[in-house]
Amino acid sequence: MIVYEDEEILVVHKPPFVAVETKNIRQQDLISLLTNRRAAKGEPGMIYPVHRLDQPVEGLLVLARTKQAAAQLARSMAEQEFSKEYYAVVQGVTEDSGTLIHMLQRDGRTNTSSVVPEGEAAGATEAKEARLSYERLAIKHEKSLLRIVLDTGRHHQIRVQFAAIGHPLVGDVKYGASPVSEDRQPLALCSCRLCFVHPKTGERMEFHATPSGAGFAEFASELAAL
């Protein structure tokens, strides 16, 4: 789970179905797991989330070990000094590459986001622009393996934008994907590359991860070659 750690930060590969942080006291989240690990080693102290991944999504996250590091990383994100890439498997055959731009609006009651139709965007005061670019890496059985670069970080952005163009993520029944036989299959989405400036040293840091979820299994050889 832990990819890198020092006195200021932790970089972890979050497994699917583990929430980064939750108010449900009966559910152990990533912050609790890491805090308990530190306590067991005699290293008391808080761990601060800087960004998040949806609960069924796996991949790389950076967490802060001090308030100062958290504040600096938050500033870096606001100034777009973070670079985040994802692998995804979507239903259907996409274009070779493309850029998606939509206005998204979040519904807190249902924990979903939706695309605001173009003619209604001006009147949707809570809508926010979402931008991403993608490259198709492989095709198998009417599914596409994609590399995705986020330009913005909106709620459920990748899931909503690909569903909006008719290519929902494999396993994402919430946004229109075909049901799968397993009761709980992770979304075929992985935060595979994370690049940022270290909050104390100023060093440019870059980390990579390979997906392990079932939705990526048929593309294992293609991913191994990347």
Q: Decide if 54 is catalytic.
A: yes
Q: Per the residue annotation, which of 29, 54, 107, 151 is the catalytic one? A: 54
Under 8 Å between Cβ of 75 and 38: no
| Residue where the block lists tokens 């290519």 | 167
Burial 113-148 (b: 16+ CB within 10 A, else e): bbbbeeeeeeeeeebbebebebebbbeeeebbbbbb
Burial of 104 (0-12, 13-18, 19+ CB in 10 A): buried
Residue 220 CB partners (closer than 8 Å, separation 6+): none
What number of residues does the chain have? 226
The stretches of 27-140 forming alpha helices (DSSP H) are 30-40, 67-78
Q: What is the DSSP string of 117-167?
A: PGGGGGG-TT-EEEEEEEEEEEEETTEEEEEEEESS--TTHHHHHHHHTT-
CA distance 40 to 19: 21
The set of catalytic residues is 54
